[in-house]
Structure 1
């Protein structure tokens, strides 16, 4: 590796538990923090490498060949900083298990592009996919017509998950009767996945189907994998409590494929606390803008026009992979710039032809109680869904039209939040970025108006008691 400086460090027993990346770069006199890579080695060694430029810039485009599952059930989604392939497992042929997986990251970190890659891989590899795109179909629009099932509302997602659980139960009964203790692809059933994008909308506090969604996803993770029915969720959660409030659900994800893109501080604290990242391990931060140097400018010094053009979309850590603390990046999925319609590059990755499998019959999983409620509401009126004959969920608020005060009240649960968690929730709600100072000003004003309680020494921000 020409022009790469490498330092092998002797570390205390157990390795480095914490380190300050900015201080390390200052010590090495490197202004571009993204050029310095720290990696804990085996035993009592760590490695620091200084690259002439960030090694994860300029990654190549994703190809269809990358996304065909290999003999070990893996696809190649990108590269680590040292050029090693970054792989994501969809099937474990040794155990016959489908996977349960999660993709976490803040807005604009690259979750939807990674979900697109997984969806393409499933179609290319003959895997049946049932997809819930809970951003009203906008997150992965090219998936339309390329998955067996595609739903865009929370209630439809519940029906889809019920259908997946029912299929897993059917397979368990059939396999038990024939004496099969494991799953073999195509003998007779195909490998199948339920994928929920923007899962935080379904699982966050106050969501109308939160409890049932958490239970269904948990059941799929617990029993579906052994019969070839896997589950993958992608979420903007700034805090793991937003994922249905289920300890079992979070524990389930630890044994699957967990990808962390650019994160919030509260999310990182929980990942460590819940054991998804070894306690004490440090991850090098993923900046929003790569290569941006924070330095004092001299008088009349010109700022380069393209200084803030290089973003970090797709940079990640594969927390449950063999290198959980090594930074990687996905290959480029689709066009770099937004397109006015379906992205032709992504459509080309999917390829022509119908997707494998048949759609879930959503109507078959409507309960008697829901049918009765739909009948009382009248078919096709403003309280019902004429297409499915079931009550329509409450429309979700348009965060882009809400004031900061309204957004604070929308994300604030009954038991309150610490300031750091409130900031993380606002960062993940899909609205514009709000500065800490602005949030504090709004909190002060809302306390003055009696909308928020006065500080009580707990450090939590809570709603004022109702009159």
Structure 2
């Protein structure tokens, strides 16, 4: 874009045109001259050379006269003139003072030398481009350097414009002589304000430039009689280029504009890559980010809405990605590394659409156990997802307590490869009862020891309870009695609200799960939000609304189709032509993953089925030792499970089983029996066949004391004795901390041999 009225910008001589070597030579010459001037100032007043006296004093007076003229124009010129005049004024002033003073004093020699030295040190700085640039950037006092042809023409155009009458263009400055941009100050008549009619449009007309090239701003510290002006035709060219961008124009018209599908959702940036387009969206300051997915696909002409992905924040930003082909059609199988839990408690459950891992928390190091919900219709990949999670738990040393209400048909691979596997509705209820007994056991021990939170391995392992096909128990049409359903709901509710601090998590999965089935209480809703929701292809609108109510992000949850590809357009075209639409690959494993208020579309790692099982997942499960409960916890779990299983079977069959109150009372009897052991060799109060449990779980300190019962030990030997480095064992740091606490409490003492520990009153022997 060219301008017709602005005169062409002519290059002028500047310091920036000098080479670095030339600049250095000038600085050396300046220092030599200042040194000579210092010698002359020290010697000259002691001579009788009148002509020399007159010349030096005249030079000083001339410099003062130039500065006086500069004070009338002000601006950056005065600042630079003062900086450049200081050396000459200092030397001539010292010369005059020495002439007036009688005799020859020491200061008449020292003062000129000091002034010359200071001037020599400052010589390069007084001519440096940095000072020029810093001063030129002051908008209200920019230096009006020699008003050459260009700036003279600018001033003439301003004076000739009718709309600018009564104002003056001052402080003209052209930062780059090769470009037509300039800054200036519009000055009104004394006592008057710059007219409001003098806007960007009027100024652009005066210089015959595009309106986008003009910027008007008030000057900080000045009144309405001054305005800062910037005229930059290149800025208008860049603005026009952005306006001419077809992508931005389409977005402005179809999306962000007043008639668009999401007014105020502006396109901040975008990039076009091989196979996809990525858009960064920012909302107006007075709006939260909100982009409806299906209307956006329609507005941008995307025939298959499954190819459009949205990642939105909670306030003002989002990333929209459009793919040529769905990025999750092809996905690899999981590796052991994928399923190994990191320090933050997460494993890689699959991939997001942009290739990043989709991470799921097995637990939270700060919060403890979590609650997860997995929902998916038959063929959605829910069972593969559950098996992948169970493999990750075994690899990561997490105890998996599993039950499948569908008689074990959903998760056959889990049988024998997890700590516990219950098959059938009765077994699911009994599994919950057994886990609840372990939770109560941990609760009692924690209360006795004053523990307010869970630390993995001290003394217990992390436990996750997974209940698959729970809709066969909770749904209104489930073939169970009301008492049975209420019993299971009560145990689920307790797990969601109390298990967290005990290092126990709960995961429920089914084809359709409603919060109303779980009691629909605020506590249950909050408990479920602490974990994650995996929402695969579903048939229930209520399930979709449940998942939407748990998220905080503004991303719209849309149904997942059974097959990749096609979209609405392909179906319509096939219907019009009377043809069949070929189906693409199935979307099994695709899901909306909601965690921590964020939501994203992902797909679980691929699993290949052979002879009705998944050998790849089986190999992953069997690649690590099987984690289990402690011996005490195992006794508690088995006893409660066996008792509850009989009652659950009776209740389901309706053959005179105990009612809910009686069943709870019986389970309380079991719990009381566990506390009844007095350590005298008898099993008073224990049901027949129940193994005798210990009355109290050993703490890490107790285990260290027991280990030292065999004699003095070094710290490294103590760590080995209590299981540091083994699955479920304590950390080395916790052992050392406990040793320090035991020593402070007097339960252990330092041995006679350096680096050993022993029990008080024992005679240590060297190792």
| TM value normalised by structure 1 | 0.71
Pairing partner for 2:450 from 179, 188, 197? 179
Q: Does 1:278 align with 2:549?
A: no
Using the TM superposition, give the Cα deviation of residue 37 of structure 1 relative to its aligned residue in structure 2, in angstroms: 1.8
Identify the residue that residue 242 of structure 1 maps to in structure 2.
Answer: 517
- Corresponding residue of 1:73: 345
Mapped partners of 1:88, 1:65: distance in 2: 14
Q: Contact 2:282/2:317 (CA < 8 Å) preserved in 1?
A: yes
CA distance in 1, matches of 2:640, 2:470: 22
What is the Cα deviation at residue 353 of structure 1? Answer: 6.5
Residues 1:126 and 2:401 aligned together:
no
Shift of 1:150: 0.7
Q: Secondary structure at the match of 1:98?
A: coil
8 Å Cα contact 1:200/1:243 also seen in 2: no
What is the alpha-carbon root mean square deviation over aligned residues? 3.2
Instruction: Report the equivalent of 2:499.
Output: 224
Cα offset for 1:363?
6.0
- Whether the aligned pair in 2 keeps the contact of 1:218 and 1:252 (CA below 8 Å) is no
- Residues 1:266 and 2:539 are matched in the alignment: no
Distance (whole Å) between structure 2 residues aligned to residue 279 and residue 64 of structure 1: 31
Match of 1:294 among 534, 558, 571: 571
Higher RCO by CA contacts (8 Å cutoff, separation 6 or greater)? 1
Q: Deviations over 1:188-244 (max 9, x none)?
A: 111112110111112222533211111111212222221112111112116433345
The structure having more radius of gyration, on CA atoms, is 2
Paired position in structure 1 for 2:231 = none
Structure 2: 5+ residue stretches without partners = 1-272, 658-662, 664-767
Summarize the Cα distance change of 1:239–1:310 in structure 2 as closer, same or farther, 3 Å threshold: same
Corresponding residue number in structure 2 for 1:189: 460
Tell me, in whole angstroms, the C-alpha distance in 1 between the residues paired with 2:575 and 2:655: 62
Structure-2 separation of matches of 1:10 and 1:139: 44
2:377 aligns with: 106
CA contact (8 A) 1:289 1:311 kept: yes
Q: CA deviation at 1:367?
A: 6.0
Q: Secondary structure at the match of 1:296?
A: helix
**Does the 8 A contact of 1:162 with 1:365 survive in 2?**
no
Q: Is the 8 A contact 2:312 2:554 kept in 1?
A: no
> Residues 73 and 364 from structure 1, CA distance in 2 versus in 1: closer, same or farther, beyond 3 angstroms?
closer
Compute the displacement of 1:14 (Å): 3.9
- Greater displacement, 275-284 / 248-257: 275-284
Question: TM-score, normalised to structure 2's length?
Answer: 0.45
Q: Which runs of 5+ in 1 are unaligned?
A: 386-390, 392-467
Whether contact under 8 Å (1:203, 1:244) holds in the other structure is no
- Asked if 1:327 corresponds to 2:601, the answer is yes
Provide the rounded CA distance (Å) in 1 between the counterparts of 2:409 and 2:343: 33
1:171–1:227 CA contact under 8 A, matched in 2: yes
Contact 2:463–2:503 (Cα < 8 Å) also in 1 = yes
Give the aligned length.
371
Contact 1:106 1:238 in 2 (8 A): no
Tell me: CA distance 1:65–1:141, structure 2 relative to 1, closer, same or farther (3 Å): same
Q: Does residue 233 of structure 1 match 2:508?
A: yes
Cα distance 1:136–1:20, how it changes in 2: closer, same or farther (>3 A)? Answer: same
Separation in structure 1 between the aligned mates of residue 603 and residue 526 of structure 2, nearest angstrom: 26
Aligned match for 2:365, one of 81, 88, 93: 93
The structure whose residues are more often helix, as a share, is 2
What's 1:19 paired with?
Answer: 292
Which secondary structure does the structure 2 equivalent of 1:126 belong to?
coil
Query: Aligned pair in 2 of structure 1 residues 351, 299: CA closer, same or farther (>3 Å)?
Result: same
Q: Deviations over 1:7-61 (max 9, x none)?
A: 334545443546251x433332332322222333463344332212112221221
Q: Closer, same or farther in 2 for the Cα pair 1:183/1:204, shift >3 Å?
A: same
CA distance in 2, matches of 1:40, 1:353: 38
1:354 shift after superposition? 5.6
Answer whether contact 2:551 2:598 (CA < 8 A) is retained: no
Decide whether aligned partners of structure 1 residues 60 and 24 sit closer, same or farther in structure 2, where only a CA change above 3 A counts.
same
Alignment of 1:20-419 (within 5 A): 21=294, 23-41=295-313, 43-95=315-367, 97-205=368-476, 206=478, 207-208=480-481, 209-237=484-512, 239-243=514-518, 248-263=523-538, 264-272=540-548, 275-278=549-552, 281-292=555-566, 293-297=570-574, 307-321=582-596, 323-324=598-599, 326-332=600-606, 334-335=607-608, 338-351=609-622, 355-357=626-628, 360-361=637-638, 366=643, 370=647
- Cα 1:116–1:373 shift into 2, 3 Å: closer
Note closer, same or farther for the CA distance 1:285–1:277 as it changes in structure 2 (3 Å cut): same
For 1:298 and 1:268, locate their aligned partners in 2 and report how far apart those are by CA, in whole Å: 29
CA contact (8 A) 1:15 1:40 kept: no
Q: Secondary structure, in 3 states, of the residue corresponding to 1:271?
A: helix
What is the CA–CA distance in structure 1 between the aligned matches of 2:440 and 2:640, rounded to whole Å? 18
Which shifted more, 209-218 or 234-243?
234-243
Find the counterpart in structure 1 of residue 691 from structure 2: none
